[in-house]
Structure 1
Amino acid sequence: MSLKTTLDQWHTLQAVDQAGSIQGAAAVLNKSHTTLIYGIKKLESQLEVQLVQVVGRRAVLTEQGQALLRRAAPMLEQARDLEWMARQLAEGAEAQITLAMDHLCDRRWLYPPLSRFMARHPGTSVRVRETSLTGTRNAVAQQRCDLAIINVPMGNHLAEAFGNVTMVPVVGSHHELANRSELNNDDLTSQTQIVIRDLGADEQAQDVGWLKAQQRLTVDNFDHAWEALIAGAGFCRLPEHLLAQRPPNSFVRLNLEGGRRYQVPVHLVRPKQARTGLAANALYQELMQDAGPRLTAGNN
């Protein structure tokens, strides 16, 4: 059975809906006003349904038009994705891809598989951007990266488990809390807490974990937090993989009742979804293959 309508007709209807007028849609599509009116009338005739009506000076979709366009929108998006994929195949892999990595992630989970990828794809450069909290989420939402390692999965973005980061409360070995055998929340309230700033937040910062200390020292990254910690400036929750790389006599893990450790899951995401390029997909597969044994061990 042959189709009565074409993708171009549905694209025209979508443009009218988004522009709010036939004239506006004509400008967007670079077509004449008359051509668009004819196209819409023809679509209405083919479907035997009124799709557009004029309200005031605006061209708006009827209820039937809105219902049909809702069903057509995914079809149009799939068509765009197909064209994008065809261009990728014609042009070859990307010359450069960007990976956004939340600062919580263990860097050893990234660079060995990335090194193997770059050896196999000498024509593709890779830019790694370390982000945190809101910054990571914004990079995904605004598709400013091809791949992202994030903590909390985001709506409308598929995510694969990539590992778990263990956070532990610590102080420098010369801090007054270093010799305490047991602690509770009240003991920490009067101490200075070293906090990592949410680099992506303009006004509303995203807070994570226990933040009830009366005084805070806020820094940009874990490197600064570590220097402040060993200087005795306060206590901080740091990733265990970072502590494993530090001199063991330079810090003390706090025996905090009900808060000795917690885990933060991290995930691998393709923000551009179906429009992810060939090289980015290859790196994604390399990263997930490397994560396999780690994830299996974590489930046992």
Structure 2
Amino acid sequence: MKPDYSLDDLRLFWLVARSGSYKKASQESGVPLSTLSRRISVLEDALTVRLLERNAHRVTLTESGEEYLDRCGPLFDELNDITHQLYSAKQSAKGKLHVAAPINLAQQWFVSLLSRFMLQYPQIDIELTISNKNIDLIENHVDLAIRVGEMTTPDWIVRHLTDIPFCLCMSTAMATNSAVSLSHPQTLIHYPVVVSKPVQHWRLIHSVTQEEFNFDVAAKARFKVDDLHTAMNAVLAGIGIGLFPVTMVAPYIAAGKLQIVLPEWQGRKRPVYLLYRDRVNMPHRLRLLIDFILEQIPAEIHYRGQSC
């Protein structure tokens, strides 16, 4: 015989047996007294045994009821403990968060921000994955991600943080020794270029006229690499011209190591987004991190007033 009973009804039996009262079990479960009594009867019919003896004053377990409670009671106790632990973890400022970010942004400002966050919340741990590839967020159990470029991630909340300005640079030594004058992006064809993969084209915009020009760097590149810092080091060494975020090259420009190329032309700004799964079932620790990032963005990623 295969008993056909509801686990919900079994839990109601556990509540009645534990409290010794239908009234108390009704108050604890929120199930009306009449419904509770009926569902216990349905459970007894499904099991073909009587579990409880009822009278006007109290509820008593039958021998079968005591045996059943001894076996199922610890299971519901454990489930209750797990439920309370999960709820407590969700509501408290502790636990682990898995975060993903591009390499450059992580090095420029995000690791510093996360460090300050962890100092403020010492019971929250961070596992950070840094990669220029858009890893599968669900497969890698990512709670929050920073991404650059247009987003096509379904079922995730996407919040725009800022836009990254880009400018063209070459080493000062290379500029000093250059025999070709750069007057328009078309003249870039006379120079070697350094490319940060997977970029194929430089989309340049004139700051005054808003004229646009697409330069095919994939065909012209002398050096390609999938890390922006390595690309910048190659430009510093005089390998060629590169297109970089303003915040990355500004210190080298100030130090006289890099020089702006075609200052009236800038690379098209790239948007930066914050991604997370949902708002409804968000752990408190994730809400704290999101709020912290949004509060810190003006100081961290608005590029400190630097411009090309």
**TM-score tier (shorter):** 0.5 to 0.7
Q: TM-score, normalised by structure 1?
A: 0.56
Q: 1:178 to 1:168 in 2, by over 3 A?
A: farther
Does residue 212 in structure 1 map to residue 216 in structure 2? Answer: yes
Q: Which position in structure 1 is the counterpart of 2:131?
A: 131
Q: Which position in structure 1 is the counterpart of 2:25?
A: none
Q: In 1, are the aligned partners of 2:202 and 2:267 still within 8 Å (CA)?
A: no
Residue of 153, 156, 159 corresponding to 2:151: 153
Q: 1:86 to 1:184 in 2, by over 3 A?
A: farther
Once the two structures are TM-superposed, the CA of residue 275 in structure 1 deviates from its matched residue by 5.0
Aligned equivalents of 1:86, 1:178: Cα separation in 2: 70
Q: 1:229 to 1:113 in 2, by over 3 A?
A: closer
Q: In 1, are the aligned partners of 2:89 and 2:95 still within 8 Å (CA)?
A: no
Q: Report the more deviating stretch, 114-123 or 237-246.
A: 114-123
Aligned equivalents of 1:143, 1:114: Cα separation in 2: 19
Q: In 2, are the aligned partners of 1:140 and 1:271 still within 8 Å (CA)?
A: no
Q: In 1, are the aligned partners of 2:175 and 2:259 still within 8 Å (CA)?
A: no
Q: Which position in structure 2 is the counterpart of 1:226?
A: 232
Q: Which position in structure 1 is the counterpart of 2:87?
A: 89
Matches within 5 A, 1:109-120: 109-120=109-120
Q: Which position in structure 2 is the counterpart of 1:63?
A: none
Matches within 5 A, 1:18-29: none
Aligned equivalents of 1:173, 1:292: Cα separation in 2: 31
Q: In 2, are the aligned partners of 1:164 and 1:266 still within 8 Å (CA)?
A: yes
Does residue 248 in structure 1 map to residue 225 in structure 2? Answer: no
Aligned equivalents of 1:269, 1:113: Cα separation in 2: 17
Q: 1:291 to 1:107 in 2, by over 3 A?
A: same
Q: 1:254 to 1:286 in 2, by over 3 A?
A: same
Aligned equivalents of 1:86, 1:111: Cα separation in 2: 33
Aligned equivalents of 2:177, 2:139: Cα separation in 1: 44
Residue type of the partner of 1:253? I
Q: Which position in structure 1 is the counterpart of 2:189?
A: 189
Cα RMSD between the aligned structures?
3.6
Once the two structures are TM-superposed, the CA of residue 266 in structure 1 deviates from its matched residue by 0.5
Once the two structures are TM-superposed, the CA of residue 95 in structure 1 deviates from its matched residue by 3.3
3-state SS in 1 of match to 2:292: helix
Q: Which position in structure 2 is the counterpart of 1:288?
A: 294
Q: Which position in structure 1 is the counterpart of 2:163?
A: 164
| 1:219-272 residue CA offsets vs partner (Å, 9 max, x unmatched) | 131221122101111111011111123353111111166x33431120111146
Q: Report the more deviating stretch, 142-151 or 220-229.
A: 142-151
Q: In 1, are the aligned partners of 2:200 and 2:216 still within 8 Å (CA)?
A: no
Matches within 5 A, 1:23-42: none
Aligned equivalents of 2:201, 2:125: Cα separation in 1: 34
Aligned equivalents of 1:281, 1:175: Cα separation in 2: 48
Q: 1:226 to 1:155 in 2, by over 3 A?
A: closer
Gaps of 5+ in 2: 1-5, 9-81, 204-214
Matches within 5 A, 1:272-283: 274-283=280-289
Aligned equivalents of 1:183, 1:85: Cα separation in 2: 67
Aligned length: 205
Q: In 1, are the aligned partners of 2:96 and 2:126 still within 8 Å (CA)?
A: yes
Q: Which position in structure 1 is the counterpart of 2:64?
A: none
3-state SS in 2 of match to 1:183: coil
Q: In 1, are the aligned partners of 2:100 and 2:142 still within 8 Å (CA)?
A: yes
Residue type of the partner of 1:266? V
Once the two structures are TM-superposed, the CA of residue 91 in structure 1 deviates from its matched residue by 3.7
Q: 1:139 to 1:209 in 2, by over 3 A?
A: farther
Does residue 236 in structure 1 map to residue 242 in structure 2? Answer: yes
Once the two structures are TM-superposed, the CA of residue 170 in structure 1 deviates from its matched residue by 0.7
3-state SS in 2 of match to 1:175: helix
Residue type of the partner of 2:169? V
| 1:128-181 residue CA offsets vs partner (Å, 9 max, x unmatched) | 22222xx13x34364542111112233422211212211111111122587666
Aligned equivalents of 1:139, 1:219: Cα separation in 2: 22
Which of 1 and 2 has greater Rg? 2
Gaps of 5+ in 1: 1-5, 9-83, 199-205
